[in-house]
């Protein structure tokens, strides 16, 4: 097979993103392909500035270690692509005889891959453009779930369970604890905390997601009632929860990022202030921040294996002559046993679009996730990672 390959990692890192990269490399090295495998150092920044790493020479041991290394080993960069950028990228790909282009990222990244593929086609440059899904937010359209989500969900549910065990240490306690998760427009991550619900505990769990308007007064009434009943309250809030007007509840205190989006985070502090001012009840906040996307020791083995397999599948689809597609997973459930099939969806169907938590998977009266939601998430958090340690700490692998 003629030409070279290019792998780019884009958007926010995940605990398993490197598995997809290694999956692509392993599949290529097991094929008749004899060209170079380039990695763009620093994501799209490396691509625009022709900063490439040759990945063919990564040893088996190096690739193996990368599979338990969190973060984007090739590096990543948030950048709003212009038409001139797309033109330059295609020119660079042509100059380096890149005929297979793999873009690992979320819905915004699929939009970039789509633009690159369309421009290459318009100027008559033959190249296979394959999108490889990655998102802890689980908001990619066209796939049952996104690699990265299962591990983040497992981390959050475990963390909430740990916190509840700590709270249960005190026989008489009526504390309010707010836990903030990522989730700009969707509540997949906040919802995953529902897996940590304990039926017979002395706590109530209230979950608030961006898909359903946040009702402050109702929240205040529920936490006050639990306080009077000598019960703890755990509030799970996605960073992007909105009021009935569709406005982020602390929008007036936020700035904008390089992509023109609100820099979210801090909703837990805003809610803490509102609760303490209205009820006088002392409230604490916990932000999982980037830990939810970077913890490999609490990663889901199912997620790790699927991220790797989806990378291998990306190469197989390129070998088959596919282009302008994203690799996707279709859930199978035969006799109650979970598995996935790998397929492809047109980038047109997923680029720039968002997948929301279905309305029927959330109970707005109880502020809780339904059994349907839990049944959906539970299979993809299964399995544990055995991360090799040195000196009591994980041994990670770097590429750059």
Domains, the chain, in order of start with CATH, read: 4-136+296-353+388-394 (3.40.50.450), 149-294 (3.40.50.460)
Give the residue-averaged pLDDT of 291-311. 96
- Only one residue has tokens 């209205």, namely 278
> pLDDT at residue 37 above 90?
yes
Give the pLDDT confidence score for residue 259 in this predicted structure.
Answer: 55
- Interstrand relation of 52-54 and 37-40 (parallel, antiparallel or unpaired): antiparallel
- Only one residue has tokens 């001012």, namely 277
Higher pLDDT, 81 or 250: 81
For the chain, report the end-to-end CA distance as a whole number of angstroms: 27
> pLDDT at residue 262 above 70?
no
Percent residues over pLDDT 70 in the chain = 96
pLDDT (tens digit, 9 = 90+) per residue, 174-190?
Answer: 889 999 999 989 999 99
> pLDDT at residue 252 above 70?
no
Q: Which long-range contacts (CB under 8 A, 24 or more apart) does 330-333 make?
A: 330/143, 330/144, 331/144, 331/145
> pLDDT at residue 317 above 80?
yes
Catalytic residues: 137
> Which residue stretches of the chain are H helix?
17-29, 44-48, 60-66, 83-95, 107-122, 149-167, 188-192, 216-228, 267-279, 291-294, 301-319, 347-350, 371-377
> pLDDT at residue 257 above 60?
no
Collapsing DSSP to helix, strand or coil, 376 comes out as helix
Give the pLDDT confidence score for residue 247 in this predicted structure.
Answer: 83
């Amino acid at each position: 097979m003629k030409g070279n390959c290019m792998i780019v990692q884009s958007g926010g890192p995940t605990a398993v993103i490197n598995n997809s990269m290694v999956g692509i490399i392993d599949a290529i090295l097991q094929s008749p392909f004899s060209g170079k495998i380039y990695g763009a150092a620093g994501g799209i920044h490396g691509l625009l500035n022709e900063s490439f790493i040759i990945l063919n020479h990564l040893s088996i041991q190096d690739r193996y270690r990368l599979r338990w290394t969190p973060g984007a080993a090739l590096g990543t960069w948030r950048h709003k692509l212009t038409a001139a950028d797309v033109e330059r990228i295609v020119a660079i790909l042509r100059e380096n005889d890149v005929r297979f282009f793999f873009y690992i990222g979320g819905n915004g990244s699929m939009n970039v891959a789509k633009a690159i593929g369309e421009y290459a086609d318009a100027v008559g440059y033959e190249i296979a453009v394959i999108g490889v899904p990655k998102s802890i937010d689980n908001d990619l359209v066209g796939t049952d779930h996104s690699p990265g989500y299962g591990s983040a969900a497992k981390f959050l549910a475990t963390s909430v369970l740990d916190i509840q065990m700590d709270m249960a240490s005190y026989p008489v306690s009526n504390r309010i604890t707010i836990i903030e998760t990522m989730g700009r427009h969707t509540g997949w991550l906040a919802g995953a905390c529902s897996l940590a619900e304990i039926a017979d505990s002395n706590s109530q769990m209230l979950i608030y997601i961006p898909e359903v308007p946040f009702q402050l007064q109702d929240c205040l009434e529920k936490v006050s009632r639990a306080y009077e009943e000598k019960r703890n309250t755990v509030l799970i809030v996605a960073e992007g929860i909105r009021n009935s007007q569709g406005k982020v509840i602390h929008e007036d205190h936020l700035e904008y990022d390089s992509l023109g989006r609100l820099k979210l985070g801090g909703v837990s502090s805003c809610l803490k202030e509102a609760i303490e001012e209205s009820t006088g009840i002392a409230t604490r906040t916990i932000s999982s921040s980037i830990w939810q996307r970077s913890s490999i020791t609490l990663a889901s083995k199912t997620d790790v294996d699927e991220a790797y397999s989806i990378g291998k599948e990306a190469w197989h689809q390129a070998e088959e002559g596919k282009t302008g597609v994203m690799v996707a997973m279709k859930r199978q459930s035969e006799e109650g046993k979970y598995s996935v099939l790998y397929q492809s969806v047109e980038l047109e169907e997923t680029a720039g679009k968002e997948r929301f938590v279905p309305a029927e998977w959330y109970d707005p009266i109880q502020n809780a996730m339904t059994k349907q939601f839990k049944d959906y998430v539970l299979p993809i958090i299964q399995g544990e990672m055995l991360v090799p340690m040195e000196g009591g700490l994980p041994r990670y692998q770097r590429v750059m």
